[in-house]
Amino acid sequence: MINSDRRRVALAATFTLVALPALWVLNRDDATPGTTASAGIPSPGNGADTAPSTTEYEPQPPVFVGGDDQPTPPGVIDIAVPPGPSANETQARATYSHYWSTGRPCTTLLAPDAATLTIVNVDNGQSTTCTNTLGKAVPPGADIVLDTPIYNEIASLADAPIPVRISW
């Protein structure tokens, strides 16, 4: 610690040790103990006005954004619900694989063999068609396997497997 700081601390400590007992001695004749008079603040018994009266808290009525006192009931909300699947339609999960055959092949056990299937990506609405060949094994977690270029028409390869709607 710097010498000047030491002197300041010593002076403040000395002043405090002298001032507090002096205030106590000067105010010990006061009849009301525990008043604020020793700190120089006027108290009710020391010539100050009486304490202001307080009123009980009463909350204000709620304020609504519209400015009315009564809230308006919500209106009817229309929710668009797609129709349920028909007899020749089903929900499935689609993935991809490379087929060595020509044409637009796909494989699913949910539709008849050699049927032309319409595949709709449920997430983005893109659609494509393919022919069910039953030429590949369907991996676990998927219901239909599309040829890679056909799959690219409705989704990115990174998204596989995707939810689709199959109709024939």
pLDDT of residue 19: 87
Is residue 37 predicted with pLDDT exceeding 60? no
Percent above pLDDT 90 for the chain:
35
Question: DSSP per residue over 4-19, as a string?
Answer: HHHHHHHHHHHHHHHH
Rounded alpha-carbon distances, angstroms, from residue 79 to 37, 82, 109, 122, 163: 72, 10, 33, 17, 21
Query: Residue 126 and residue 158: Cα distance in Å, rounded?
Result: 16
91 vs 97: CA distance, rounded Å: 20
pLDDT at position 33:
56
Token digits of residue 33: 């103990």
Q: Which residues pair with 147 in a beta bridge?
A: 97
pTM: 0.50
Q: What is the pLDDT of residue 42?
A: 59
Q: Which residues of 67-91 are buried (b: 16+ CB within 10 A; e: fewer)?
A: eeeeeeeeeeeeeeeeeeeeeebbe
pLDDT of 70 reads: 67
The pLDDT tens digits for 69-116 are: 666 777 888 888 877 778 889 999 999 999 988 889 999 999 998 899
> What pLDDT digit, counting tens, does each position of 50-60 carry?
666 778 888 88
* DSSP string over 39-59: GT---GGGTPPPPPP-----P
